């Protein structure tokens, strides 16, 4: 048994999320079917750093792959990419998994980016990769509100009802909102996130940006710890899983 780390990019529009499920095509299924072809036909199993929802994209998802065979990382990358075609999922790089490394449990930081296209016209070139909001928005107000949410809190107000985590306490390390022309970019970082946490945070900052709620509102929602008080869940297509970090002693050497 050899364990590998895979650095993945995928277009979430083509998949019903990361996780395998009956009668729905998932990233995990695409990857495990490609890997099985290199595994003497035996099933190959994968575990992701973060289980992205249906429609959510990834530029830097990390997954762990268990294979019965021993293949050099660069050959494994080429072979997996060959078998993944034409699904819009690729292995950007492969590393041998260090002893004791887990894609999911060893991660010390996860980074997500959410993109809002803030202009009158619907997206043409970025269709499917942004949340289109045609109303005037104040990104600076969103940034002020976002800073009030940083730190170690009970994020019950921002977790999906389906969230299975035992505790809703998380440490939000970064939540930055900035404008780049017609785009509003929201960058979120934490050791781990609750289910829908980033999308619910975005959905709660948007009414502030639109001037419908004061900049103090998101913090009041956080403190109340009630999901029904928060904003809507932002649509999945604006979200992209950007990066996973591991501690120095479990550093991955990508090939």
Of the two residues 77 and 153, which places its CB atom closer to a second copy in the complex? 77
Torsion, Cα of 223, 225, 229, 233 (10° steps): 110
Binding site for a second copy (CB under 8 A): 9-11, 57, 59, 74, 77-78, 81, 85, 88-92, 119-125, 127, 129, 240
We find the least distance from the C-beta atom of residue 121 to a second copy, in angstroms, to be 4
Nearest to 60 by CA among 110, 103, 7: 7
Distinct helix (H) and strand (E) counts, the chain: 5, 10
How many other CB atoms are found less than 10 A from the CB of residue 133?
17
Residue whose CB is less far from a second copy, 132 or 225: 132
The token pair at 94 is 């492969």
Quote the CA–CA distance of 69 and 104 in Å, as a whole number.
Answer: 22
| Least CB distance to a second copy at residue 177 (A) | 22
Phi-psi region of 55 (alpha: psi -120 to 50; beta: other; left: phi over 0): left
53 is catalytic: yes
How far apart, in whole angstroms, are the C-alpha atoms of residue 246 and residue 192?
12
**Shorter beta-carbon distance to a second copy: residue 35 or 172:** 35
Q: Of the two residues 59 and 154, which places its CB atom closer to a second copy in the complex?
A: 59
Answer yes or no: are the C-beta atoms of 246 and 107 closer than 8 Å.
Answer: yes
Give Cα separations from 233 to 33, 200, 205, 238 (angstroms). Answer: 32, 5, 11, 11
Give the active site residue among 11, 53, 70, 154.
Answer: 53
Q: List active site positions.
A: 53
């Amino acid at each position: 048994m050899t364990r590998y780390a895979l650095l993945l990019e995928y277009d979430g529009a083509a998949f019903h999320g990361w996780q395998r499920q009956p009668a729905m095509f998932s990233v995990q299924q695409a990857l495990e079917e490609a890997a099985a072809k290199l595994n003497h036909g035996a099933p190959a199993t994968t575990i992701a750093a973060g289980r992205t929802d249906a429609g959510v994209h990834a530029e830097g998802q990390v997954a762990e792959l268990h294979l019965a065979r021993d293949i050099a990382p660069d050959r494994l990358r080429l072979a997996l990419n060959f078998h993944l075609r034409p699904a819009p999922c690729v292995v950007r790089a492969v590393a041998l998994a260090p002893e004791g490394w887990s894609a999911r449990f060893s991660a010390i930081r996860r980074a997500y980016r959410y993109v809002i296209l803030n202009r009158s016209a619907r997206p043409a070139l970025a269709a499917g990769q942004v949340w289109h909001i045609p109303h005037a928005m104040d990104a600076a107000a969103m940034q002020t509100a976002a800073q009030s949410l940083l730190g170690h809190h009970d994020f019950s107000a921002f977790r999906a009802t389906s969230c299975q985590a035992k505790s809703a306490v998380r440490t939000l390390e970064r939540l930055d909102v900035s404008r780049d022309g017609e785009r509003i970019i929201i960058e979120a970082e934490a050791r781990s996130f609750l289910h829908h946490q980033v999308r619910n945070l975005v959905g709660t900052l948007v009414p502030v940006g639109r001037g419908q709620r004061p900049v103090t509102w998101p913090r009041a929602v956080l403190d109340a710890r009630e999901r029904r008080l928060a904003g809507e869940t932002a649509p999945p297509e604006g979200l992209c899983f950007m990066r996973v970090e591991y501690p120095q002693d479990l550093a991955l050497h990508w090939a």
